[in-house]
Structure 1
Amino acid sequence: MKQELPEKYYLDHFYEFIDYISSVSGHLLEQSHQTFLNAFRELDEASQCLLVRLLNRNVSVIDQKTLRYAEIYDLESSLSHLNAKGLIRSLSEQDWPGCLTYFTKDQLCAYLDQHQIVYKSSFKKQAIIEVLVQSITFEQMNSNEAFKGYWIKACESDFHYLLYLFFGNVDSRLNQFSLRDLGVRKTQGQQVSVQARFNSKEEAATSFIYAQKLHALKKPQLLDWEALANEVAALPEPVGETATVQYSRYLLKLARQVERLDEQRALSLYQLCSLPEAEERCLRLLYSFGEREQVQQRLMTIIERAGSEHLLLFAEDFLARKFNQKRTSKLTDVLRSAKQVNIDEMFRHNVEQGVCNYYRSMGIEAIHTENDYWRALFGLTFWSELFESELSICNEFDWTPACLKDGRFYSLHEIAIQQKLSLLADKSRYLHFLTQCATEHFGKPNGLFRWKPTLLKEMLHILKPIDLDALRCFLEVMAQNYQALSDGFPDLTVIDEQGIRFEEVKAPGDSLRQNQLVTLNKLKEAGFDAGVCRVNWITDPDQAYCVVDIETTGGTKETHRITEIGIVKVIAGEIVDRWQTLVNPQRHIPGFITNLTGISDDMVKDSPTFAEIAGDLTAFLAGSIFVAHNVNFDYGFIKAEFARLDEHFSMPKLCTVKEMRRFYPGHDSYGLANLCEIYDIRLINHHRALSDAEATAQLLLMINEKRLTNVQVDR
C-alpha cells in the first residue's frame, strides 16, 4: 500500500541526503561543498524549504513569479537570505542569453514587437532568441518588467556533485526519496550497509567529470564535435576504476561521432581509448589507410596475448579475411553451418515460440530462456557477494553493484566466490541453496534480472539435467568477466533424451552477433552443448490452429470481462476438436450485450470464473496458432484475463480479417456475417462464441488452401 508523505517531507529527505554525504562521503568534499552545506544549515526553516524547492527544479534559472509555496510565509525574506548566503544570485550579463530559453516563443515575440524589431513569424524559438541577443543589450532587457524577478541557482554545481556522490549517476534527483516513500520505487532497504562510492577526492572528482561528459553526449545535435576533440588533450587524468571506465567510454563515443567528420582525428582518439571496441575500430581505420603491415602485426599480438574474447574473435576473423584470402567471416560460417528446421510462417513475429512448438510436436521440451535465466542463476548464486557485501552496495538506491560495472567483482570476492562454486559439487545441496536464496530475497530490486512467480520453478527444472561441472566452470567465467558475458545467451534451452543443450534461433535474414558467438563459445568451452538453429519459413500443413471467439460484457479489455469462449482446433485441414464454456464475468452484463449475444446474468451466475478455467484453456491452446476474426480483440481480452491472474500469455496470432483481405480481395465488408454470406458458410447462431469460431474456422481453411498452393502475395 502506498504511504502518505508527511508535511515538509522534501526537507526531511534533504536532511537524510546531506547526513549521508557528511557522515559517509565527507572525505570527498572540497571546501566549496562544505561551504554549501554549512550555508544551508545556517538558514531558517522557511529559507531551507525554499532552497530545497529550488534545487528540486530541473532548470537553472528561476522565475520568482512561479514560487508559490504555503510553507514559505515570506518569500522576499527567504530569497534575500538565500542571496546573502551566496546560494542564489541575480542575473548577470553573461546569464541573460541562456535565460531567454525559459521564456515562451510568444513572450519573446511580444518583446520584439514592442521594440519594433523585424523577425519572421515562421522563426523557431532559437532563431527568435538569436535575434534578441543581436538586437537588444542586457541593460535594455534588464529594465523591462517582463524580464525582472529571475534568479540563478549559484550552488547548483556543488549540489549536483553531492547528488553524484549519493546516487552514482548524473540523472537521479531528490524525488527518488519521495518515490521510495510512496512505494513507487523499490530500494534495497534501510538495512543496507552504507559506504562511500570513492576512496579519494581525485577519484570522485574525475568520475563526476566524465559522468557529466558522457551524459552530454546523449544530445549530439547540440554539440560541437571538433571542439570536444580539441579539448581531449587538456582533460584530467582519470583516477580509479570507475573514472577510467567512464573516460574510455567517453573517448569511444566521441571518436565514433568525430569519425564521420575526420577519420584521422578519430583514429587518434581511438588510440587513447583502452576499450576493445576502440582497438577494433582503430585497426579497421589503419587498414583503410593502407597500413597493412602495422595492422597485421597488431592482429598477431592480439591473438598471442588472448585478452578480450570479443577482440580475439575480431582479430582472428580480420586476419583470415584480409590477409589469408578467406571470403566469409566466422560469424557467417557458423550461421551457414548451423542445423535447419522448417517452421510455419505464422511464427514470423515470434520465431522462438515457433521452434519451441516444433520441438514439442516431437515430444522434446524447449524453453525460451535467453539472458534472464543465466543472469538470475548468477545473481542468486552470488547474491550475498553482490548485494550484501560492504564492497558492493553504497546505499539502498543502488541496484547494480559498481564492482560488476568496473570489472572488480572477482578480484574483490575471489575467496567467497570459490566457496559458493564449491556448492556445485553436490546437486541437491546446490538446489537447496538456490531455493533458500530465492525464497529469502524474492522481489528485492536488483540490476541483473527480473523476478517472476515461476522463476525458481523454471530454474530448478532446468538445473535437474544440467552438468554441474560445466555450470561451475561457466559461472566462474561469468564472475571473472561479467560485462562480457551478461548477454548474448542462446534463446532456447532444449531438453531431450540426450540431455540438455542451448540453441540460438535465427530466422531468415537474421545475422549472428559477435557477443552471441562469444557466449556460445564460452558455453562450449565450459562443456555445454550449445549452437545455432536456423529457421526456414514454410506453410506447414500439419500446424495446429486454435480458432477462438469470445463474447464479452463490452468492448474495452481494461474494464470489461469475458462471458463465453468458443474454440475450434484445426490440424491438417481438418477440425479435430472443440472447446466451449460460459464464463462468469463477475460483473453485470449490460442489456444491449444480452440483446446482441443472448447471454444474460442468469446464464453465467453458476458458470466458472476465468481463473477456474484458465488451466484448461492453456492446455487446449498449447502448441497452436491463435486465430480469430479481428484477432487483437479476442487475443487482447484473453491476455488481460491472464494478466489479472499475474500470468503471462503469449501465442503467435493469425487474423482472418487481414488474411481474407490478402487472399480474397475486393469485398466491401470483411465482417464475419458478410463473408459467411458471400462464401456460403453456415452461421447459425451469430454472436455466440462456438458458432462464430466454427464459421471462422471455415475462413481459415480457405486461407490455408491459398497458402499451401504457394500463392505469392506481397506482405
Structure 2
Amino acid sequence: MKQELPEKYYLDHFNEFLDYIQSVSGHLLDAVHRMFLETYKAMDESSQCLLVRLLNRNVAVIHQKTLKYDEIPNLPEVLQRLEAKGLIRVVSERDWPACLTYFTKDQLSNFLKAQQVSFKSSDKKQALVDVLVSNITFEQAESCGLFDGFWVKACEPEFSYLLFLFFGNVDSRLNQFSLRDLGVRKTQGQQVQAQARFQSIDDALTSFIYAQKLQLLKKPRDLDWIALAEEISQLPEPNGEQATLLHGRYTLKLARQLERLDETLALNLYQACSLPESEERSLRLLYKFGETEQVQARLEALIENPGSEHLLLFAEDFLARKFNQKRTSKLTDVLRAAKVISIDEMFRHNVEQGVCNYYRANGVNAYETENELWRALFGLTYWPELFESDNSLCNEFDVMPGCLKDGGFYSLHQLVIEQRSSIICDRDAYVQFLTKQAASHFGKPNGLFRWKSNLLSNLFSIIKDIDLDALDRFLIMMAKSFYELSDGFPDLTIVEEGRVRFEEVKAPGDSLRANQLVTLNKLKEAGFHSSVCRVEWITDPNQAYCVVDIETTGGTKETHRITEIGAVKVVSGEIVDRWQSLINPERHIPAFITNLTGISDEMVQNAPVFSEIADTFKAFLSGSIFVAHNVNFDYGFIKAEFARLEESFAMPKLCTVKEMRRFYPGYESYGLANLSKEFEIELNNHHRAMSDAEATAQLLRLVNQKRLKKQQ
C-alpha cells in the first residue's frame, strides 16, 4: 500500500528540524540565526508554509508563476508579508542572470529584438542569455519589467547554516524527512540521543565556511584558482577539530589544482596545510625546485616520526630513490616480486573471480572479500561503541559515527575495546557475539558496510580458520587509525590447509597503490600472511566452460520467463557433465513459441519453478565460464531470474557468435542452425535447450582450437 504524507508534512518536518536546532544546537547560533528563528515562530501558518516551500527549493531565484500551493490562500499577500519580514527580496543586479533561466528562447529573442540588440536566430538559449547580459544593463532590463514576479530567498544563508548543524554537510536537504516517513530512507530511529556536532560556535561557523568552500570546488570549470588561493589568507582561522580538518581538505584540493598553474603558490598552500598528504606534495615540489638538502632532512625526520603509515612509506621510498640511487619504487618492487598465476583471458573483466576459480580448481577455498570483510567485522565487533554510545551519532540521520571521523574512537573506548579482546579470541564466544549484534541490528543504516542475507555465513566461513589473535590485533589497529585502515584491503581471502591468508590480485597493466601496500604491511604486522599475486592471460586448456541454452516465453527478460534450461560442462574440449530441466514460467506460453520450441503449457505444468532449481543450477555453473550462442540473451534471462530471488549472479562470459565471427569470418549467417550445417555439427532438435547447448559446445571447441593455436 502506497504511503501518503499529510497536506502540510513539510511544515511538520521543518518544525521538527527547528526543535533539534534550538534544543540541541542553540549554543551554536549567533544573533542573525536567532532572529531568523524568532521571525519564523512569530509568523502566521500560511507565511510559515510558504517560507518552508521556498526554502525547500534548490534554486536561489524563484518566479511567482511557479508557486502553486492549494493549501496557501492569497499567495501574493503572503509573499508581501515575507518581504516585509526581510525573508525574501526583489531581484538585485547580482541575481538577474539567474532569472534569465526561466525564459524560453523565443521570449529572450523577442526581448532582444525589442531592445534592438543583434543576435543569431540559430543560437541556443545560453548564447542568447550571454548576448543579453553583455548588451543590456540591469537597470534597462528592470525598467522593462523583465524581473516582475521574481523573488530571491534572502534568508538562504541562515537556513543553509542550520541545515549544516543538523546534517553535518552542505549537500543534504529537508526532503530526507519525507523519505524517512515514506520508508525510503532508513534512519537510526528514536534510540539516538540527540547531540550537537560542534562544541563551540566558532568551530561550527568556520566549519561551515570551509564546507561551503569545498562544495564550490566540486564545479571547477569556471573557477579562478589564483583568486581563490589569494583569498584563503583572508578567511577565518579554523577553530576546532572539524574546522581544521575541513580547512586542510580545502587547502589540499586547492593546492593540487594550482600545481598546473603556479607551483610556487601551490607549495605555499601545501606548507600551510595541516593534513599529512600535503607533506608529500610539498616535498616533491621542493625537490623539483632543487631544495635537496631541505628535502633530505625532512625525509629523515619523517622516518623518525612519520605520523602515518602512508607518510612513512613515502619518506622511505622517496629517500631511497632520490638520494640513494635506487631505481625503482617500493610499490614496483613488491609487484615485480609477486608470484604469477596463469588465468584464462575470458576473466579479463573479472580477474578476481578468475583467480578464485584457479584456487578452487586446485582444491583451495578462495573468497572475494576486499574491504567488505574487514569493515563488516569492525562494525559488528564494535557496534555498541560505534552506534549506541555517547559521542557516536548526533541524530537519527547519521550513518557514520563522529568519533571515527575525528579519529577519537579508540581513545574514547580504549578500555572496552581491550576487554572485547577476550571475546574475539574465543571462537565460539565471538561467533555468538557477532550473531547477537547482527540479529539486533540487521538492516540498520551504517556507513561501514552493507547488510546482506549471507553476511554472517560469509564471515563465519572465514572466522572458522582465521588466527583470532592476529584478527584482534588488526581490529585494534583499525580502531586506532580507522581512516588509514578503512580501505585498500586485499581482494581475496584464501583458506588453505586450515590457514587463512590474504592476497591482492593484479592484472597485467595494474599498479599497486600506496594504501594497498600500507594495508598489506599492517596485516603482516598483525600476524597474517598477506601478499600480492600477478596474473598473466592465457588460453587455459583445462578451464571449465558451461555451455548454456535456454528457451523462453518471449524475447524480453523484463516481461518474459524461462521455460527450459540445457547446459553442458566442457573441459579440454570434451563434455564432462550435463544439466537439464523444464521450468514452469508461471505464465502462459504463446502459441508461436510453442510452434517454435515444441514446449507447451501442459509440458511445464508440473515442472519446477526457477526458485526450486536455482541452487543446483548455480552449483553446476560454479567455477566455469558461461558460454552461449548470443550469450547476452541467455545470460540476461538467467541474471533476471536470480534478481527476482534477490540473489546476485555474475560470471565471465564467452559468446560463440562473436568468437566464430572473429576466428571464422566470411559466412553469410552465424545463426546456430547455419553454423551447425557448415561445420557438420549434429543439431537434431533445434530450439530445444539441450540439443542447442550440445551444438554450441562443438562451436566452442572450434573457437578454442583457434585460441590455443594463436597462443603457441
Match of 2:538 in 1: 538
Match of 2:129 in 1: 129
After superposition, the C-alpha distances for 1:60-89 in whole angstroms (9 at most, x for unaligned) are 111011111100111011101111111111
Q: Is the 8 A contact 1:631 1:656 kept in 2?
A: yes
Q: Is the 8 A contact 1:424 1:430 kept in 2?
A: yes
- Change in 2 beyond 3 A, CA 1:415/1:107: farther
Match of 2:420 in 1: 420
Match of 1:74 in 2: 74
Match of 1:170 in 2: 170
Q: Is 1:457 matched with 2:457?
A: yes
Match of 1:471 in 2: 471
Residue 419 of structure 1 and its aligned partner are, at CA, apart by 2.4
After superposition, the C-alpha distances for 1:389-414 in whole angstroms (9 at most, x for unaligned) are 12010001111112212212112222
Residue 622 of structure 1 and its aligned partner are, at CA, apart by 1.2
Q: Secondary structure at the match of 2:134?
A: helix
Q: Is the 8 A contact 2:545 2:624 kept in 1?
A: yes
Residue 558 of structure 1 and its aligned partner are, at CA, apart by 1.7
Residue type of the alignment partner of 1:538: I
Counterparts of 1:302-451 in structure 2, within 5 Å, are 302-451=302-451
Q: How far apart in 2 are the matches of 1:139 and 1:505? A: 65
- Change in 2 beyond 3 A, CA 1:93/1:330: closer
Q: How far apart in 2 are the matches of 1:135 and 1:536? A: 63
Residue 125 of structure 1 and its aligned partner are, at CA, apart by 4.5
Q: How far apart in 1 are the matches of 2:641 and 2:498? A: 38
TM superposition score normalised by structure 2: 0.98
- Change in 2 beyond 3 A, CA 1:487/1:94: closer
Match of 1:236 in 2: 236
Q: Secondary structure at the match of 2:328?
A: coil
Q: How far apart in 2 are the matches of 1:134 and 1:598? A: 72
Residue 93 of structure 1 and its aligned partner are, at CA, apart by 3.3
Q: Secondary structure at the match of 1:147?
A: coil
After superposition, the C-alpha distances for 1:311-354 in whole angstroms (9 at most, x for unaligned) are 11011011111111111111111111111111111111111111
Q: How far apart in 1 are the matches of 2:304 and 2:343? A: 43
Q: Secondary structure at the match of 1:159?
A: helix
Match of 2:558 in 1: 558
Counterparts of 1:211-222 in structure 2, within 5 Å, are 211-222=211-222
Residue 102 of structure 1 and its aligned partner are, at CA, apart by 4.1
Residue 34 of structure 1 and its aligned partner are, at CA, apart by 1.1
Residue type of the alignment partner of 1:42: A
Q: Is the 8 A contact 1:2 1:183 kept in 2?
A: no
Residue type of the alignment partner of 2:286: L
Q: Is the 8 A contact 1:551 1:687 kept in 2?
A: yes
Q: How far apart in 1 are the matches of 2:213 and 2:64? A: 31
Match of 1:480 in 2: 480
Residue type of the alignment partner of 1:660: M
Q: Secondary structure at the match of 2:178?
A: helix
Q: Is the 8 A contact 1:43 1:81 kept in 2?
A: no
Match of 2:33 in 1: 33
Residue 682 of structure 1 and its aligned partner are, at CA, apart by 1.7
Residue 59 of structure 1 and its aligned partner are, at CA, apart by 0.6
Q: Is the 8 A contact 1:21 1:166 kept in 2?
A: yes
Residue 127 of structure 1 and its aligned partner are, at CA, apart by 4.4
Match of 2:508 in 1: 508
- Change in 2 beyond 3 A, CA 1:252/1:105: farther
Match of 2:660 in 1: 660
Match of 1:160 in 2: 160
Match of 1:252 in 2: 252
Q: Is the 8 A contact 1:63 1:151 kept in 2?
A: yes
Q: Is the 8 A contact 1:194 1:390 kept in 2?
A: no
Q: Secondary structure at the match of 2:58?
A: coil
Residue type of the alignment partner of 2:37: L
Q: Is the 8 A contact 1:493 1:503 kept in 2?
A: yes
With 277-286 and 517-526 compared, the bigger mean Cα shift is at 277-286
Q: Is 1:13 matched with 2:13?
A: yes
Residue 142 of structure 1 and its aligned partner are, at CA, apart by 1.8
Q: Secondary structure at the match of 2:548?
A: strand
With 385-394 and 424-433 compared, the bigger mean Cα shift is at 424-433
Q: Secondary structure at the match of 2:684?
A: coil
Q: Secondary structure at the match of 1:250?
A: helix
Q: Secondary structure at the match of 2:191?
A: coil
Q: Is the 8 A contact 1:470 1:526 kept in 2?
A: yes
After superposition, the C-alpha distances for 1:238-283 in whole angstroms (9 at most, x for unaligned) are 1111111111010110001111001111000111112222111111
Q: How far apart in 2 are the matches of 1:379 and 1:412? A: 16
Q: Secondary structure at the match of 1:666?
A: coil
Residue type of the alignment partner of 2:241: E
Residue type of the alignment partner of 1:399: V
After superposition, the C-alpha distances for 1:259-309 in whole angstroms (9 at most, x for unaligned) are 100111100011111222211111111111111111111100000113210
Q: How far apart in 2 are the matches of 1:236 and 1:411? A: 29
Residue type of the alignment partner of 2:608: P
Structure 1 residue runs without a partner (length 5+): none
Residue type of the alignment partner of 2:412: L
Q: Secondary structure at the match of 1:483?
A: coil
Match of 1:181 in 2: 181
Q: Secondary structure at the match of 2:576?
A: strand
Equivalenced residue count is 712
Residue type of the alignment partner of 2:633: F
Q: Is the 8 A contact 1:63 1:150 kept in 2?
A: yes
Residue 129 of structure 1 and its aligned partner are, at CA, apart by 3.1
- Change in 2 beyond 3 A, CA 1:108/1:294: same
Q: How far apart in 1 are the matches of 2:326 and 2:92? A: 65
Residue type of the alignment partner of 1:306: P
After superposition, the C-alpha distances for 1:142-188 in whole angstroms (9 at most, x for unaligned) are 23344311011011000000011111110111111111111111111
Residue type of the alignment partner of 1:562: I
Identity %: 71
Residue 124 of structure 1 and its aligned partner are, at CA, apart by 5.2
Residue type of the alignment partner of 2:39: A
RMSD (CA atoms): 1.4
Q: How far apart in 1 are the matches of 2:223 and 2:263? A: 18
Q: Secondary structure at the match of 2:483?
A: helix
After superposition, the C-alpha distances for 1:447-483 in whole angstroms (9 at most, x for unaligned) are 1111110000110110111111111110011001100
Q: How far apart in 1 are the matches of 2:2 and 2:438? A: 25
Residue type of the alignment partner of 2:353: Q
Q: Is the 8 A contact 1:553 1:593 kept in 2?
A: yes
Residue 194 of structure 1 and its aligned partner are, at CA, apart by 0.8
Q: How far apart in 2 are the matches of 1:335 and 1:362? A: 24
- Change in 2 beyond 3 A, CA 1:133/1:536: closer
Q: How far apart in 2 are the matches of 1:150 and 1:495? A: 67
Q: How far apart in 1 are the matches of 2:498 and 2:388? A: 39
Match of 1:271 in 2: 271
Q: How far apart in 1 are the matches of 2:704 and 2:354? A: 18
Q: How far apart in 1 are the matches of 2:20 and 2:668? A: 69
Q: Is the 8 A contact 1:13 1:174 kept in 2?
A: yes
Q: Is the 8 A contact 1:489 1:520 kept in 2?
A: yes
Q: How far apart in 1 are the matches of 2:202 and 2:691? A: 75
Residue 559 of structure 1 and its aligned partner are, at CA, apart by 1.7
- Change in 2 beyond 3 A, CA 1:169/1:49: same
Q: Is 1:491 matched with 2:491?
A: yes
Structure 2 residue runs without a partner (length 5+): none
After superposition, the C-alpha distances for 1:585-628 in whole angstroms (9 at most, x for unaligned) are 11111122112111111100100111111111012111111000
Q: Is the 8 A contact 2:99 2:147 kept in 1?
A: no
Q: How far apart in 2 are the matches of 1:680 and 1:106? A: 67
Match of 1:4 in 2: 4
Residue type of the alignment partner of 1:89: R
Q: Is the 8 A contact 2:91 2:147 kept in 1?
A: no
Q: How far apart in 1 are the matches of 2:113 and 2:162? A: 44
Q: How far apart in 1 are the matches of 2:711 and 2:104? A: 58
Q: How far apart in 1 are the matches of 2:577 and 2:378? A: 44
Q: Is the 8 A contact 2:546 2:568 kept in 1?
A: yes
Q: Is 1:695 matched with 2:695?
A: yes
Q: Is the 8 A contact 1:61 1:102 kept in 2?
A: no
Q: How far apart in 2 are the matches of 1:675 and 1:710? A: 22
